[in-house]
Amino acid sequence: MAITRASRHLVQNEPLIFERSAAGKRGYQLPPLDVPAADLTGLGRLRRDQIADFPEVSELEVIRHFTRLSTWNYGVDTGLYPLGSCTMKYNPRVNEQVARLEGLAQGHPLQPEELSQGALRIMHLLSRYLLEITGMDAITLQPAAGAHGEMTGILMIHALLSARGEARHKVLIPDSAHGTNPATAAIAGYQVQNLRSNARGTVDLADLDRVMTDDVAALMLTNPNTLGLFEEDIHRIADLIHERGGLLYMDGANMNALVGRARPGDFGVDVMHLNLHKTFSTPHGGGGPGAGPVAVKSELEPFLPIPVITAGADGRLRADYDRPRTIGRMRSFYGNFGMFVRALAYIMANGCDGLKQTTEDAVLNANYIRRGLEGAYALPYDRPCMHECVFSDQKQQAHGVSTGDIAKRLIDYGFHPYTVSFPLVVRGAMMIEPTESAGRDELDEFIAALRAIAAEAETEPERVKSAPHTTRLSRLDEVSAARQPILRWRR
Amino acid sequence: MAYPNEYRYTKEHEWIFREGQTGTIGITDYAQRQLGDVVYVELPKVGNAVKKGEAFGTVESVKAVSEIFAPADGTVKEINEKLAGAPELINQDPHQRAWLIKIELAQPAELDALLTAAEYEQFIAETAEH
């Protein structure tokens, strides 16, 4: 079958920079020493005259090396990136333009408050908008990413329960959750108890009723969940947790399905984090950095990390450190400020109607793919999804082709693979999240590619199982790499 | 691969073999096939207590990291040191050479409640249908 490639990338190979090294080449020139030379003899055996095997290359060689490597990147700017659960949406250039304004880009967190009013206002305004979007009461922008936000939220829950004089030891986590949820609970010192999904792929209320005891501090729930399904019983879940003295934490990873349409604060969530690098279009992965604001109901406000940005009667903004019940500081200074600028630019550029449209388009795109691939791949939970859809490789397994093989074959068609083998509740999962950024033509191309691969799996399975074929390197030996990792270059 | 009749099994895919007060624990052939190539095994220290139904270690494959649950209460007497250097033993010989730990059983009679080889084989046959 002829391949229609959605994109082309360079196929030339590139040696390691160590292999370009030749003795004596330099990429720098230092000015003459204008201070007395230090006497290093006191270092004794610790002293080194040269760094062994450091590459010696010219400036232009360094530039060419890294420029060539950069052309191998696959990102949102090169093509569709349907990595489920990651919301790899377009990072609008207006965000970058605003973030590069001199006063913002050159600002320093140690500037006096009177010189930082603009930066503080950005954080204050973003906080207000995020509270409006989530329906929560108070927020911290500090956490550096989603899992850091989870940690912040769980520590606040612990602080609140301690203040109530309650020692609860367990955190409930559905079997469809992101791995960071149980990791967070465990790191915070809680025992993790798994919660089963029912046949519809959502929380099993009977199982929740059974395990929700007075030893449970919180339920960590993702809504919509990782199957892309909305937890329709969310009110009953929240009531059950609250009746028995627990708190409801929501992982906001999938907030791209809700913004402007539903507010977690309205359906009973007590604490939640947002991922600005998912839902609010700041760069995700690679450069990042992330930002994971945590929004809470008023009962938890006293425990927010310090500082909290507050407005005085005169409208001046200040960083408030005098909060005796705070869980402390979670991040140096104010968090990843550059991301706040971008997220605010995104929210303001879209406006209320734009954000709503974004959510609707994201859900529409996922459902377009769900219907477009119907019949070609098995759909374990066959009902309308939210912002992502999860297929399984069940049909292809009959030919020995697995989700990982299909993902690698997708690379030959010029697309970034979907999320492979997650969520764990679906065997051979293929989790696809197109986001609102994909246009219809692109979705059609993607569907055609996956349909072509499904046909290949039947007629020439070996071709799929040995993919990718058009990349510089084909199948890597993942097993040897994991069993005997080589962690540094050697001559 | 056959499931030895003298072993007992759990629905979490561990096996245990009793000799007097000692129970030898491993993961089943079905478990290793689901996991794929095992690359790392994390085991408890000798002297640690293990509790029925609670995790005592992890098995990491190229696909996933999975917890291993104790089939019975007891104290760790010995761990299989070979697995640190050769985790692939779990794929090659899960029921014999790739045993994980040996425990001093707190209540050897506990094992009677676990699945027999025939019951376990029926259980995995049913699991595969879903």
Q: pLDDT digits over B30-65, tens only?
A: 999 989 999 999 999 999 999 999 999 999 998 788
Q: pLDDT digits over A195-219, tens only?
A: 999 999 999 999 999 999 999 999 9
In three-state secondary structure terms, A219 is: strand
In chain B, which residues have their Cβ closer than 8 Å to the Cβ of A482? 37, 39-40, 60, 62
In this complex, the residue of B39, B63, B64 whose CB is nearest that of residue A483 is B39
Query: In whole angstroms, what separates CA B119 from the centre of its chain?
Result: 16
Q: Say whether A421 and B37 touch across the interface (CB within 8 A).
A: no
Q: Is residue B1 part of a domain?
A: no
In this complex, the residue of A421, A424, A479 whose CB is nearest that of residue B39 is A479
Domain positions in chain A are: 94-348, 361-480
B58 contacts B67 by C-beta, under 8 angstroms? yes
Residue ranges making up the domain that contains B93:
8-125
Beta carbon pairs, A and B, within 8 Å: 17
| Closest residue in B to A478 (Cα–Cα) | B62
Does the structural domain A94-348 have CATH classification 3.40.640.10?
Answer: yes
Q: Is residue B130 part of a domain?
A: no
A303 contacts A159 by C-beta, under 8 angstroms? yes
From first to last of its 491 residues, chain A has per-residue pLDDT tens of 566 666 544 556 788 999 889 999 988 888 999 999 988 888 888 888 777 778 999 999 999 899 888 888 889 999 999 999 999 999 999 999 999 999 999 999 999 999 999 999 999 999 999 999 999 999 999 999 999 999 999 999 999 999 999 999 999 999 999 999 999 999 999 999 999 999 999 999 999 999 999 999 999 999 999 999 999 999 999 999 999 999 999 999 999 999 999 999 999 999 999 999 999 999 997 667 999 999 999 999 999 999 999 999 999 999 999 999 999 999 999 999 999 999 999 999 999 999 999 999 999 999 999 999 999 999 999 999 999 999 999 999 999 999 999 999 999 999 999 999 999 899 999 999 999 999 999 999 999 999 999 999 999 999 999 999 998 889 988 888 988 888 888 87
The shares of helix, strand and coil residues in chain A, as percent rounded to the nearest 5, are: 40, 10, 50
Give the CATH number for residue B97: 2.40.50.100
Residues in chain B: 130
**Cβ atoms within 10 Å of A357's Cβ, excluding its own:** 14
Structure tokens at A167: 């020692």
- Number of structural domains chain B divides into: 1
Task: Tell me the DSSP string of A111-161.
Answer: S-GGG-HHHHHHHHHHHHHHHHHHT-SEEE---SSHHHHHHHHHHHHHHHH
Task: Tell me the DSSP string of A370-428.
Answer: HHHTBTTBB-SS-S--SS-EEEESHHHHTTT--HHHHHHHHHHTT----EES-STTSTT
Distance CA A372, CA A200 (A): 21
In chain A, which residues have their Cβ closer than 8 Å to the Cβ of B37? 478-479, 482
Task: Tell me the DSSP string of A9-47.
Answer: --------GGGG--TT--S--PPPP-SPPP--GGGGGG-
A413 contacts A82 by C-beta, under 8 angstroms? no
Structure tokens at A143: 């956490």
Count of alpha carbons within 13 Å of A36, Cβ hemisphere only? 3
Distance CA A271, CA A274 (A): 10
Q: Is residue B2 part of a domain?
A: no
Query: What homologous superfamily does CATH list for A361-480?
Result: Aspartate Aminotransferase, domain 1 (3.90.1150.10)
